[in-house]
Amino acid sequence: MSQDRERVVIIGGGVIAISSAYYLAKAGYQVTLLERNRFGSGCSESNCGFICPSHILPLCEPGARAKTLKTMLQKDSPFRVNPFVGPPLWGWMLRFMQRCRYDYMIEAAKARHALLESSMRLYHDLMNESVIDCEWKSKGLLFVFKSDKAMDDYIKTNDLIEDQFGLGAKPYDSKALAELEPSLKPGLAGGWLHEHDAHLRPDLLMSSWRASCEALGVEVIENCEAQSFTIESGKIVAVETSTGSVPASKVLLATGALAPKLAKMLGRDLYIQPGKGYSITTSRPDPCPEIPMIFVEHSVAATPFDDRYRLGSTMEFTGYDDRINRKRLGLLERGASHYLKQALGDTVHQEWCGWRPMAYNGIPTISQSKSVSNAFIAAGHSMLGVSMAPATGKLISEIITGDTPHIAADPYG
Ligand SMILES: Cc1cc2nc3c(=O)[nH]c(=O)nc-3n(C[C@H](O)[C@H](O)[C@H](O)COP(=O)(O)OP(=O)(O)OC[C@H]3O[C@@H](n4cnc5c(N)ncnc54)[C@H](O)[C@@H]3O)c2cc1C
């Protein structure tokens, strides 16, 4: 195969990059992955680890404009926007607002559905073939409601995803919920269980996938920032980095929330903004949830692992700011304590924040560059990068190889 000698340089060391590296290496390419910091240290190893086909609906839905403004004015809202960040965020917001229509929502949902469903199947293959080893559990995802109104409001959403995608959840009233999950406080309104969802431990996903890729010959270079490209006759011939020049036959940008910067150098405007989220990882509380949960009214998520436990939440549009705001971090425990008998474990292992690569329309970009023919982009996976990683990696490898895509590629162009 001619591609045996071709080197694909992947920029980024997150879950989208490692998935792409895996499928490209399997397709016979020589793969070099460049990460500006430590592999996995972006958004991919300390998130909530939900693999959630249930999350097909994007944030831009009818009514999101009013909801966004209302939550911005609420004290302690998990959602925050700093309008002084400047024009890129204003442009993103404007586009987001324009997408808050039913037809756009369904268009995005269909695009997300294809990636989520395919990824779920591919995850099973990856585990059966022992490519990844990451405490995978198929226990579903439980949406927990404090008020009867919010519980009832979910019926409409559930009907929509059941009718259009066959992915409806099972309702539990207050008593049944307390029996299903004894870690919850009594007296909550109820819950909806999305039985098809699963969860995993993201740091183990990243380390085991990296090991499998390295066994296939993938080279991972850390502390190496891609800064520019050498382009000859409309093609990249080398990636210029903080540690020198890296020759490339093809280049894939998988730089998460930072993707717009390098994409701009290739003549492409990407409307992706960092949506900062927080997590706190502790020992398992007693009692510890067995099923991963989302506490809907407070937008906090809880994930149990074998010997750890994580709360995650918040969405801040405050630009490329990577500082931990302790007040915001505190919202996690405060939010969860409305629902759980024990919101956190005794020993804190990690406090973290990361930038979700938020695409204004809820659809990731997985495509070839129009102006530089050997450049490709896989970015903008918003709140679902882990859930969509396998199908994204497989699809971009098919686009690069010229093979027939296993799912239609058009929605991601
Ligand atoms: C609190 C929280 C909870 C979440 N929970 C879930 C969940 O339960 N399920 C789910 O599916 N998703 C979840 N997500 C979203 C998920 O984490 C992201 O969608 C996903 O990690 C994005 O992966 P990525 O590879 O695109 O980006 P990243 O993981 O950010 O990787 C991009 C990498 O590129 C590197 N980079 C950038 N520029 C350069 C450069 N010039 N040169 C070299 N390297 C560069 C960065 O350092 C970074 O490591 C959550 C996110 C947050 C914040």
Query: Taking 70 as the threshold, does the pLDDT of residue 3 lie above it?
Result: no
Token pair for 298:
């407070």
34 CA → ligand 1 middle, Å: 15
Asked if 282 contacts 345 with a C-beta cutoff of 8 angstroms, the reply is: yes
User: Which residues does 173 contact at the CB level (< 8 Å), separation at least 6?
Assistant: 190
Q: How many angstroms separate the alpha carbon of residue 112 from the centre of ligand 1?
A: 17
9 burial level (CB within 10 Å; 0-12, 13-18, 19+): buried
Each residue of 102-124: pLDDT tens digit? 999 999 999 999 999 999 999 99
316 alpha carbon, distance to own chain's centre: 15
Residues 15-26 have pLDDT tens digits of 999 999 999 999
Rounded CA gap, 108 and 116, in Å?
Answer: 12
pLDDT band at 5 (very low <50, low <70, confident <90, very high): low
* CA–CA gap between residue 153 and residue 160 (Å, rounded): 12
Average pLDDT on 367-375 reads 96
pLDDT above 90: residue 84: no
What is the pTM for the complete model shown?
Answer: 0.97
| Burial zone of 233 (CB within 10 Å; 0-12 exposed, 13-18 middle, 19+ buried) | exposed
Percent of the chain at pLDDT exceeding 70? 98
Q: List the domains of the chain with CATH numbers.
A: 2-412 (3.50.50.60)
**C-beta separation of 357 from 271 below 8 A:** no
- CB 362 less than 6 A from any atom of ligand 1: no
How many angstroms separate the first and last alpha carbons of the chain? 27
If DSSP codes are grouped into helix, strand and coil, which group holds residue 248?
coil
Contact 209, 22 (CB under 8 A): yes
- Nearest residue CA, atom 16 of ligand 1? 385
The CB of 255 under 6 Å from ligand 1? The reply is yes
